[in-house]
Amino acid sequence: MEKLDIPQGTLDLMILTILSRAPMHGYGITERLTVLSQDHFRVNPGSLFPSLYRLEQDGKLKAEWRATENNRRAKYYRLTASGKRQLEQHLERWNRVSFAVTSVLEGA
């Protein structure tokens, strides 16, 4: 199946949402994204990691090295308090945007 491009600005939102469930490493995030999007999205690591680093720099995420279930070492990201706030704000805005877009499309 052909993959969709991730719409501008929604990658951060999706990363934050995934991490709000549980801390996760980069590879795990790409996998979850693929699964959750039912294989419509596949995020390129070249886009994922810059986003992760930027969110970390902004204090939305906190990273630490931990062992994985398969006994590898990986860098786990988790949401900070400020990250949670950002997620709520973005989510609220996203809901409004999608509601608005849907309304327009259905009403036209």
Binds another protein (CB under 8 A): choice among 56, 62, 90, 91 = 56
Is the Cβ of residue 14 or residue 55 nearer to another protein in the bound state? 55
- Residue 88 CA, chain-centre distance (Å), reads 13
Q: Helices 45-57 and 10-21 meet at what angle, rounded to 10?
A: 70
Smallest distance from the beta carbon of 92 to another protein, in angstroms? Answer: 19
Query: DSSP code of 28?
Result: H
Q: Which residues bind another protein (CB under 8 A)?
A: 25-28, 31, 44-47, 49-51, 53-54, 56-59, 65, 68, 70, 72-75
